[in-house]
Structure 1
Amino acid sequence: MSLKQKFLLTALLSIVIIVVGLGSLVSTSVSAYLLDHTKVSTAFYMTTFLEPNVQSMAGGQPLSQQDRAALDTVMNNPTLRRHVLSIKIWDPTGTIVHATNGELVGQNFGTDDLVVPLTGQPAAYFDNLSDEENVFEREFQGPIFEIYVPLRSRADGSIIAVGEFYEDATRIRTELFALLRGDWVVLTVCGLAIFAGLFAVFRQGSRTIESQKAAILRIQEEREALQADTAQLRAGLETARGQLEDMDKEVSRRIGQELHDGPVQMLGYLSLALDNLAVVGRRGDARSDDVDDMQATTDRIQVELRKISNRLLASGCGQPAALSDVVAAYAQRSKADVVTDGLQLTDLLRLPAQRGVSRIVEEALNNGFRHAAARGQSVTAGLSDGRLVIEVADHGPGLPPDDVLADKVAANHHGLSGMQDQARRIGARLELDTPADGGCIVRISVPVL
């Protein structure tokens, strides 16, 4: 063999050994890091779902029926079910107290798998389903990531149970293979680059040609990228133009609703008060408190117009008034007795949802004052299936027929359509109901996030 051949062979063998050794080391490190990172993040995520629903087991007590129902709700959560295949809750003695597979509840499989989580650390296994308690999970197709997490008492921080869940590991395996494949590709490319650099010592003449080819290719790619960016910017400008037109229409509609739901309603009340004052004036017994009420209402209209202006100038970013304050302001304005309950629950909603709910309730109360003379008005709130339900009721004549409602909308009576728009904007359901004993109920159902 010539010196050139010996040099090239030695360099090639050395590079192959280095690449294989580094590839094995990097693959092992990447696999361990990915699985450990997934274990920690997933364990923390699941603990937030499971731990609040096992607090009845503190002090060695059995799992309560209420917590069982809550765990069933967690298991049936559509978002969770997309990647969590099965869940088990163990007590510290190795007995399963709750599971997706109900046949396992009450069975004891020992504490061999619970040693690590009972010390306060999560444990995880990849496709390790050989235990007797894994009969149900072995029926699933595809890889499974099994994680044990300690569940602690909120009172003293002691471990009262262990949560075990089985996650669909298809995504993890895909990411792992992608990372390993990328590592091997990078190492292989680096090895080949080193070998090519050594080989280039014997072929200096090819460097100029290769660099020129690379420069031409780079210029071509930059030109193509520039053309693609230009086309994307042009499309973005067209999209932005359409969005600006839609925003202009939406702003106009919201200004109309703000004016209708606030000052217009108060002007209606002021008109009624003026009619009453005209009647008592003809009898000669007008009272000063009626005039004071109208003056207060006029001041209120000015305040509302100023608030609307401030909200529009601030792009709706201000803190909305609490629902209890909205109801109290109505009661003071109309001199009506309004029964309330649970209004503080609206603090669970996002600010846009709070603002929308307040507008709908205010409109419903004003309608109750106008059409039901404020008889039996109440505003109550409660939680049901992850939603906040607010009901505004009165003891008036109830809802008119559907054709009458349609005629009112056509005649620019925007109270109902305004409430529907507000509900649609915050993702709520709006229902109108007339009970058998009379009256009207406006029901708003908003998801609690």
Structure 2
Amino acid sequence: MIAKRELTLAQQYMIASLLVMLGGMVGIGLWISEQIETAVTNRTAAVTALYVDSYISPHLQGLAESEAQKAVNVPALERLLSDTSLGAQIVSFKVWSPDGIVLYATNSELIGQQYPIEEGLAAAFNGEVVTEVSNLDKPEQALERTQWGSLIETYAPSRDANSDTIIAVSEFYQTSDGLETEIRSAQFRSWLVVGAVMITVYLLLAGIVGRASNTIISQQNELRANVTQLNELLQQNEELNGRVRRAAARTTALNEKNLRRISADLHDGPAQDLALALLRIESLSEAFEDENPQVSQDFRTIQLATESAMEELRTISAGLRLPEIAPISLTETIRRAVHDFEKKTRCNVTLTIGTLPEQAPLPVKITTYRVLKESLANSFRHANGEGLAVYVYHTEDIELTIEVSDNGPGFDVTRTAVYNRLGLVGMRERVELLGGQFELHSAIGRGTTIRTRLPLSVPEVEDV
């Protein structure tokens, strides 16, 4: 089955503009035809008015003194109607008095009869020359109706030569054959001109729109190709981004494995050797205590230094090893980090936890624990633990926000050296490794706030 082909913009325009132009051409043509017909009719009226003023009005001047039929010079009117060229074109003629009485008519049966004064006749008595094509449906047109279907009807006023008062109205009837021929000829020429102009304009616009449409189609095809390529690149980017995030999550877990291994190695290696050395040093110190007190005192000094190193080594080993947080919830992980800090430093922390998801990916819990531990330790070292507060919340299961603040002396965050501190660098790298955000806000005398945002959509990894 062949798919239906969509029309291009140029084709749609050509169809729509063709319909509009055809409608416009018909409208303009009809309007011009009407104007031509009106102009020709008015010209006929002007000629008729001139004829009346020149030839007929002088023979009606008797009506200025009397409205009787005898005031009309009938023989002179009949000679005009029969001997002149215009009279030869007149097929019927009437003279009306102001009260609607027919004073003279080529149809003698109408003379002396009175009829209502209608629109054309009334306008003529108001001084206008009225010409129109009549369908001969009036009562006084009975004779004309039997011979013709329609005639050109003209009303022309006749005025008193002394006072310019309208004393009568002459009504002419002419055949419309010659007038209609002239009108049709003029209309045909006007239609040709209008059609030629419309076709020329249409072809010019069609050419312009056609070129524009081809340009648009070319650009659309190029845009579609670019969009397709962009979609492919976006898909590849999403795949790469997923790999990077999985690798970041895996790196976080592996780092903890490495730290746990280092902790175990320190505990099982150097710590054991130091423990053995302490035993031997203690025996040697006791052996020389009586024979050589000075040597015994030196051994005591070495023993104290070794014990101090042993204690430091155990502290480092304990700090490297992360508690078992995989099976516990995110909330419990946060509470454990704060509780361990309070237990170690005997410093109170105001903890506020919003509604959190029950579980979170292991890399997120690891980073949360490390960030809390390092942030609280920094506040304890630099702010003496004053006003320590922790606020943890999340937004629509999308992002976890951790805020650690204190009321310490604060510092100038514009100093570059601040961001080179190992603790801050480590926290920032941990957070950004998971695609999160790390913010540090502080001012002298206004305390410090560390705010981190971690995505909760980090891929899950195996337990460390």
TM-score norm. by structure 2 comes to 0.41
TM-score norm. by structure 1 comes to 0.42
Structure with the greater relative contact order (CA < 8 A, sep ≥ 6): 1 or 2? 2
Q: Find the structure with the greater CA-based Rg.
A: 2
